[in-house]
């Protein structure tokens, strides 16, 4: 018997175009916000950052631009096409070197 679902599929033909840029800082746009999974797309202007903070298991996929992501103090140079998978509870932060767009999927509780 196939599994049942109450959620329709979601399709975003150009997810990068969903990013919002704001001089005051990141404004993540929720593509999905459920108990089991949260998916956001976010844009950062050059020099903007997301301070290091602990978080759940997450996957970050970089769509445009360049920056540096830190996970538990280890720095990763990120560019379009890069993926960073962060373990549960790890501290992660991000600083944009150029206009940066990324997709993040975070596991729920």
Collapsing DSSP to helix, strand or coil, 18 comes out as helix
Task: Please write the tens of the pLDDT for every residue from 69-104.
Answer: 999 999 999 999 999 999 999 999 999 999 999 999
The domain defined by 28-107 folds into Jelly Rolls (2.60.120)
Confidence of residue 54 (pLDDT cuts 50, 70, 90): very high
Q: Where are the beta strands (DSSP E) in 1-109?
A: 29-33, 37-44, 49-54, 58-64, 66-71, 74-79, 83-86, 91-96, 100-107
Given a cut of 90, whether residue 15 has pLDDT beyond it is: yes
CA distances in angstroms from 8 to 5, 11, 32, 83, 94, listed in the order given: 8, 10, 12, 26, 32
Domain boundaries along the sequence of the chain = 28-107
pTM value is 0.91
């Amino acid at each position: 018997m196939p599994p049942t679902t109450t959620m329709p599929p979601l399709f975003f033909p150009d997810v990068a175009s969903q990013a919002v840029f704001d001089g005051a800082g990141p404004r993540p746009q929720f593509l999905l916000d459920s108990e089991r999974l949260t998916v956001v797309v976010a844009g950062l202007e050059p020099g903007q950052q997301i301070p290091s903070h602990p978080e759940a298991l997450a996957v970050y996929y970089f769509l445009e631009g360049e920056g540096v992501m830190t996970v538990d103090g280890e720095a990763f140079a990120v560019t379009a096409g890069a993926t960073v998978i962060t373990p549960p509870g790890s501290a992660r932060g991000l600083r944009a070197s150029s206009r940066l767009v990324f997709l993040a999927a975070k596991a729920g509780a």
